[in-house]
Amino acid sequence: MNMMTVNQIGAAGVASKRMTAPVRDRMAEDKAMLRTAAELTRDLLKARPAIYWTDLIASCAMGYGGLFASMTLASTGWAIVAFVVAVLALYRAASFIHEVSHIKHSALPGFRLGWNALVGVPLMAPSFMYEGVHNLHHQRTRYGTAEDPEYLPLAHMKPWSVPLFVLVSALAPIGFLIRFGILAPLSLFSPALRREVEARFSALAINPDFRRRPAEGEARKLWQRYEIAASIWAVGLMVLTATGVVPLRSFAIYLVAISLIMVVNQVRTLVAHLWENEGEAMSVTAQYLDSVNVPPPGMLPFLWAPVGLRYHALHHLLPGLPYHSLGKAHRRLSRALEPQSPFHAANHRGLPGLLVRLVRGTFGIRAA
């Protein structure tokens, strides 16, 4: 994020090895693919509240139940099993922040509030850290450029940038505690610090040069509301742990869980795109081809790319589709579009091959 956690620290200071932009970055639009994609998915645009709420509540129940069990079970083996379940379930619940940033909130009344109450505030990553930031990543003229908060030419960076990009995400819970437990309260007494907090430490972004503009209107009211809640939570946790009300062991398990959630998400981020663009504006077709689908039959993406994130390329093609419609949309388009269509080129087999491709790119070895 664009604060001392998660993505920025791993990206900061990583020098890019400038190379000629790939041919695909300058590709003209495949209008037939874009038209077919729009026409065949019009009936899939409606979000279904029952699916959203059931999925979120079930994920939270499993996640917090597993977390509590990992803190209280006497058996080390079962505690570890419960902890793994907790991390995966809470990771799925946290991934709904992506949906919160895209959905029309009139179609899912109360879902943003519910997500923040159940996940955003307890995990110290409220939705304002993503809303208004992620949307810039989808702007036609920003994607893959220096103005994209969620893009770096990782495939052209130094080889050590990839492991650092992942390892630094383990520091996320410490960064969250600093952001909401220390900086936010102190910024109430310093307008200069407040401006710095808003610009540099209030965005889940990977571009270290990104500076967030102040929110306005209703967005600013929501920002303030959720920031206050997250700050109360963070300060309360630190005080209760310092005074012995919350056992230090339980607090440590909670922080490690957040750390692993962010590490898993960081690995997923590494394979969400090919990261081959070096700053040029890209056509929608080129953006699609620089993004990744990992469709069935593989089942592991259900765990590491939940809530529709296994169809990340398709999401860039049709960002208005709710997550529960992406699988059906992908199947329809796979049948309808001829084998020569660029649509099929964004499909990849799984995480290992994508990671190998990225690492080879940092050594200057390009895919054929």
Q: Which long-range contacts (CB under 8 A, 24 or more apart) does 220-227 make?
A: 222/112, 222/127, 222/128, 222/131, 223/128, 226/116, 226/120, 226/121, 226/126, 226/127, 226/128, 227/126, 227/128, 227/180, 227/184
CA-CA distance, 313 to 292, in Å (whole number)?
5
Quick: pLDDT tens for 282-298: 999 999 999 999 999 98
CA-CA distance, 334 to 321, in Å (whole number)?
16
Rounded mean pLDDT, 181-207: 97
Percent of the chain whose pLDDT exceeds 90 = 89
Q: Report residue 323 as tokens.
A: 């997550």
Quick: pLDDT tens for 303-326: 999 999 999 999 999 999 999 999
Query: Quick one: pLDDT at residue 222?
Result: 95
Rounded mean pLDDT, 332-357: 96
Residue at 367 is within a domain? no
Quick: pLDDT tens for 222-251: 999 999 999 999 999 999 999 999 999 999
Residue at 329 is within a domain? yes
Query: Quick one: pLDDT at residue 28?
Result: 81
Quick: pLDDT tens for 128-179: 999 999 999 999 899 999 999 999 999 999 999 999 999 999 999 999 999 9
Residue at 295 is within a domain? yes
Q: Considering its fold, how many domains does the chain have in total?
A: 1
Q: Report residue 69 as tokens.
A: 């069990």
Query: Quick one: pLDDT at residue 6?
Result: 38
Residue at 104 is within a domain? yes
In the three-class reduction of DSSP (H, G, I as helix; E, B as strand; rest coil), residue 157 is classed as strand
- Rounded to 10 deg, the angle between the 76-94 and 248-270 helix axes is 50
Residue at 154 is within a domain? yes
Quick: pLDDT tens for 2-33: 443 434 433 333 333 333 334 344 468 999 99
pLDDT confidence tier of residue 365, bands split at 50, 70 and 90: confident
Query: Quick one: pLDDT at residue 27?
Result: 64
Rounded mean pLDDT, 40-58: 98
Query: Quick one: pLDDT at residue 16?
Result: 37
Percent of the chain whose pLDDT exceeds 70 = 92
**Distances, alpha carbon 120 to alpha carbons 35, 164, 230, 368, in Å:** 37, 26, 8, 42
Residue at 368 is within a domain? no
97 pLDDT exceeds 80?
yes
Q: Which of 67-76, 80-89, 213-222, 358-367 has the lowest mean pLDDT?
A: 358-367
Residue at 53 is within a domain? yes
Q: Is the N-terminal amide bond of 342 cis, ω within 30° of 0? A: no
Query: Residue 205 belongs to what domain range?
Result: 6-14+22-362
Residue at 26 is within a domain? yes
- What integer best gives the mean pLDDT of the chain? 92
